[in-house]
Amino acid sequence: MGVYHSRNALTGPFTPDRLAAVELPRTPLGRRGYRPEEVDALLHRLAYEMGERTRQRDQVREENRRLKHALRTWQSECTTRRLER
At 40-49, the pLDDT tens digits run 888 888 888 8
Is position 7 within any domain? Answer: no
Neighbours of 34 (CB within 10 A): 13
Look up the domain containing 24 and give its range.
16-84
Q: Is residue 54 packed enough to be buried (19+ CB in 10 Å), middle (13-18) or exposed (0-12)?
A: exposed
3-state per-residue secondary structure call for 28-59 = CCCCCCECHHHHHHHHHHHHHHHHHHHHHHHH
Q: How many domains does the chain have?
A: 1
At 21-61, the pLDDT tens digits run 777 777 777 777 778 888 888 888 888 888 888 899 999 99
Is position 4 within any domain? Answer: no
